[in-house]
Structure 1
Amino acid sequence: MTDPAAPPSRRRETTRAKLLDAAAQLFAEVGLDAASVEAICERAGFTRGAFYSNFASKDELFLELAGQVATARMEAVRARIAELECEGALGAQITDLAAIIPLVLDVSVADHVGVMLMSEIRINALRSPELAAAYLAQDAEMRTSVAQLITEIVESNQLVLRVEAADAARLMLTAWEGESVRATMAGLAYEEVAQRTNDVLALMIRLIIEAPRR
């Protein structure tokens, strides 16, 4: 329940946030089409009136949610990169490189619901040009951030990339996302999903980066 003593703007923000959280869970569980407005309201503890005072339609809510997920992913990746830079971890040797990339990427999808929700967003992006454009823009931004991270690690350690940094980032993200989906499909616990994705990234790193000859 929202606090009746809170200012109207804060109550509205709280209501929207709860509706978005409830919708995220339902979209992950049953998909966009099967998640009715009534089910979202029931999960959030609000009436249809509260829903339609905040969103014109379920599709509008989904677009806003997709945008929030994309923003949250990028902010999490940027924050983790900044944290690693402060710790001096980006100067680590090649033996630690396979641990750094997973540390950066793991913050962008944290659990089973996150993997399911991102999969639902991708499915609907295939059907919606508007959502597709937003998703591709977010994906390009993510690849750019990862490519910059790879470049910094490679240059600081005088390593050799077998492909361009942008291509390395694309390959790593594709492998990581694909493995996280497959591991989630297999019903693995989060720790096992993380281990599977880390193993795939470690293999990818060995394929695209080589240490200089001594």
Structure 2
Amino acid sequence: MSTRDSGRDTARRRETRARIVEAAMDQFGRNGIDATSVEQLCEAAGFSRGAFYSNFDSKDDVCEEVARYVATECVEACHDILGSASVGTDIVELLGRLFGVAAFSEERHNAIIELQIRARRDTELAARLEAVRADQWPLMLEAAERGATLAGLRFTVGVEESLRILEALYFSPIGEGANASLVTAAAAALLTRIEP
């Protein structure tokens, strides 16, 4: 097989995995992880069980990939929005723009809550999801610090502690829209104007 053919196989494999992960986010968010079978994932993605098992060993592998996908999407969305924001941006407007992107959609919100519930019952999955988080956490901290700086604000407690509080509020299972409002209010309480 030529390098060119190998590259196409790799691209095709990435596309297959991405479609399965996107189907999983939708199905997990709608039905829950345990109530979603491999067959349902395959049907939603438009693939056979063979395609699933040639890319993933188990549903937990998909769970890990969903967590990685959502975390990466979230970081990229934050950086895109912060990259187009100007100094003096209103923090409420900035948070509103962040919550308006696909990374914070209701399906992803529900899928992440489902992952958290499953991880509480499965220590191996919990460790896998924590490794994904460890990869992305420094980038989230950087985005939070940059957002505060652009808004002319600073965190009244450490940025890591603040972000953990905001994350806990956002992913509490009380409803995506209400969570965005809670996080916006909490962010305002955790931030103070930088004095010139």
Q: Same fold (TM over 0.5)?
A: yes
Residue 182 of structure 2 corresponds to: 200
The answer as to 2:96 corresponding to 1:102 is yes
What residue ranges of structure 1 are gaps of 5+ in the alignment?
1-6, 185-192
Retained in 2: the 8 A contact 1:98–1:201? no
Q: Secondary structure at the match of 1:69?
A: helix
Read off the aligned partner of 1:39 and give its amino acid letter: Q
Does the aligned pair in 2 maintain the 1:74–1:108 contact within 8 Å?
Answer: no
Contact 2:38 2:49 in 1 (8 A): yes
- Partner deviation per Cα, 1:79-114 (whole Å, 9 max, x = no partner): 211121xxx2x323xxx2222233235436332211
C-alpha change, 1:21 and 1:153, in structure 2 (3 Å) is closer
Cα shift at 1:163 = 2.8
Residues in 1 aligned to 2:79 and 2:15: alpha-carbon distance in whole angstroms: 26
Partner amino acid, structure 2, of 1:169: L
Q: How far apart are residue 68 of structure 1 and its match?
A: 1.5
Instruction: Read off the aligned partner of 1:43 and give its amino acid letter.
Output: A
Question: Which residue number in structure 2 is paired with residue 141 of structure 1?
Answer: 138
Counting aligned pairs with the same residue, the percent is 26
2:108 pairs, out of 80, 91, 114, with 114
**Using the alignment, how far apart are the partners of 1:26 and 1:161 within structure 2?**
37
Number of aligned residue pairs: give it.
186
Q: Does 1:175 align with 2:169?
A: yes
Q: Compared with structure 1, are the counterparts of its residues 32 and 103 closer, same or farther at alpha carbon in structure 2 (3 Å cutoff)?
A: same
Aligned partner of 1:182: which letter?
A: I
Return the offset for 1:204: 2.3
CA distance in 2, matches of 1:80, 1:45: 33
Q: Which ranges of structure 2 fall in alignment gaps of 5 or more residues?
A: 1-7
The 3 A distance-change label for structure 1 pair 138 and 183 is farther
Give distance in 1, aligned partners of 2:155 and 2:20.
45
Matching residue of 1:46: 47
TM-score, length basis structure 2:
0.75
> Relative to 1, partners in 2 of residues 1:57 and 1:164: Cα closer, same or farther, differing over 3 Å?
closer
Shift of 1:52: 1.7
Q: Show the counterpart of 1:190.
A: none
Question: What is the one-letter code of the residue matched to 2:15?
Answer: T
CA contact (8 A) 2:64 2:132 kept: no
**2:38 partner letter:** V
- Secondary structure of the residue aligned to 2:157 is coil
Moved over 6 A (4+): none
Contact 1:124 1:131 in 2 (8 A): no
Shift of 1:119: 0.7
- Higher RCO, 1 vs 2 (CA within 8 Å, ≥6 residues apart): 2
Say if 1:32 and 1:146 are closer, same or farther in 2 by CA, change over 3 A: same
Secondary structure of 2:56 counterpart: coil
Inter-partner Cα distance in structure 2 for 1:138 and 1:106: 24
Q: Displacement, 1:117?
A: 0.8
Residue by residue over 1:12-46, the C-alpha shift from the partner in whole angstroms, topping out at 9 and shown as x without a partner, is: 33332222222222121222222111111222222
Decide whether the 8 Å contact of 2:77 with 2:103 is kept in 1: no
Cα drift, residue 211 of structure 1: 4.5
